[in-house]
Amino acid sequence: MEPHENTGHPRRWAILGVLVISLLVVVLDNTILNVALRTLADPVHGLGASQGELEWAINSYTLVFAGLLFTFGVLGDRAGRKRFLVAGLVVFGLASLLSAYAQSPAQLIGARALMGVGGAAIMPVTLSIISNVFDPRERGRAIGVWAGAVGLAVAIGPILGGALLEHYWWGSVFLINVPVVVIGVVLVAVLVPESRDPNPGRVDLLGVLLSVVGLVALTYGIIDGGEHGFDRPLVWASIVGGLAVLGWFISHELRSAHPSLDVRLFRVPRFAAPVALVGLVFFAAMGVMFFNAFYLQLVRGYSPLETGLLFLPFAAAQLFFAPQSAAMVRRFGGRAVAVVGLVLTAVALGAFVFVDEVTPIWVVLVLTFIQGTGMANIMPPATESIMSALPREKAGVGSAVSNTVRQVAGALGVAVLGSVLSAVYREDIASALAGLPAPARDAADESISGAYAAAAQLGPAAPKLIASANDSFVAAMHWAAGLSAVVAALGILIALRWMPGRPAAGPTEARPAVEPELAGTA
């Protein structure tokens, strides 16, 4: 490749560094919360949040984030991606301040939802700007660095959160976002060029409303059912109503001349298959990370900082393998790389079925390393396939779809696997709660955090309750881990059937054949 042939921006690698900083604050916030869950559940040192409120603290962010991504992708294309990036960072920083000083679980859930608004303005424009400042031949490498930053943030979050919780109050895990936002705003203003779509779409307000209402109703039903049982009409009304609204959303998008999500894109296997892989992997992974935080801190007794450090193998795998994945795709093809990544991820998640209270901790470290290696080799080829299926000026569409599916799948993973965890735990521990005082019985029946809090008031009866809670939680964890492995394994079948293999000619030669088909639909 001759220098004069490169159509990328002269400062493209510096710009990528700035985008990585902007991206870190969004992804970091999701994972940093994992190690704070136990503290937030503590009525003395936290907010006394229930299991359902903890799930909503995670999902209020992801659902708002996902519901607004499409619209904000279009608005960013229309108003200017740099402008939207700066605005998103400012909103995210202000919402982080509100989260840090929340006085109740409800206030925290609301502040987290506002953080989702800021995140929705940040995330899609990062990939859009990458697609605009990089030559198509360098884009795979740049996306590999971008995906590595996502993986790094996923792993740094628990470590940073644990370190903060060792020395400060729980609000510090949100307050840490503020200086990062300030640095990000300054660097974006100085380095990132403004760019727009010359033919932007219109904003689909009805589509946005339907997607948010449908997702929130569906997730509410799943979380509430897991916490209080699925034998109540309200739960099924919420689930069925949410699915019906989402069906209406799809029907509306098919008829709309300016859809927020162009569902016709899913007719193209090169686009649809990697989107499905991203969704399945994050459904499985986010659910496992949710229960892993409780397993390490309660069942195994590690501090928040120690728990965070146990995620270092995941970080190391992401840092090493994600930047190499673009070269692996060129050599072996996207299908082969994605399948290997999915196999490793499914094996690592499935192995948690055999982890219990006395499993050597090095086994858990190996499993997190294998999972990190697998995910590092799924995201870059999947993201590159998604982005290359669209013309460069429509990069916001591909970015929005990819990130929305990732966020929705992560939220549903926490909701569904969290509900499985709660339901199995409650059923398993029921026999051990007979004879306990009513307040202790109710607390222990709700979650393992509640059981530990109740045990602190029981005196001689405490060790027996803690042992029963640990056993019940591990049994529930096995069910959730098994389900997550099945979900990841489903991705293997999709990758084998529909992911593109190694190109017969140059890496960008197939692009023109796809673009005309999508240009009229995006």
pLDDT of 214-236, one tens digit each?
877 887 788 777 767 777 888 89
Higher per-residue confidence, 421 vs 208:
421
Q: Using alpha carbons, select from 65, 208, 193, 194 the residue that is nearest to residue 123.
A: 65
Per-residue confidence (pLDDT) for residue 484, from 0 to 100: 93
Spatial contact of 283 and 486, defined as CB atoms under 8 Å apart: no
The residue-averaged pLDDT of 39-58 equals 79
pLDDT interval class at 321 (50, 70, 90): confident
Residue 196: which residues within 8 A CB-CB, separation 6 or more? 77, 78, 79, 80, 81
Measure CA of the first residue to CA of the last residue in the chain; give whole Å: 31
Q: Using alpha carbons, select from 477, 380, 484, 350 the residue that is nearest to residue 422.
A: 477
Q: Is residue 514 predicted with pLDDT exceeding 70?
A: no
Distance CA 494, CA 499 (A): 7
Q: Is residue 371 predicted with pLDDT exceeding 70?
A: yes
Instruction: Provide φ and ψ at 479, rounded to 5°.
Output: -65, -45
Q: What percent of the chain has pLDDT over 90?
A: 17
Name the least confident of 18-32, 324-338, 500-514.
500-514
Burial class (CB in 10 A: 0-12, 13-18, 19+), 330: middle
Per-residue confidence (pLDDT) for residue 207, from 0 to 100: 83
Distance CA 510, CA 286 (A): 34
Q: Is residue 506 predicted with pLDDT exceeding 60?
A: no
The residue-averaged pLDDT of 156-166 equals 80
Residue type, 487: V
pLDDT of 86-132, one tens digit each?
999 999 999 999 999 988 889 999 999 999 899 888 877 777 788 77
The SS3 of residue 487 is helix
Higher per-residue confidence, 9 vs 6:
9
Per-residue confidence (pLDDT) for residue 363, from 0 to 100: 94
Give CA angle at 261 (29, 258), nearest 5°: 130
Distance CA 313, CA 316 (A): 5
Which residue is associated with the tokens 């193998």? 313
Per-residue confidence (pLDDT) for residue 522, from 0 to 100: 29
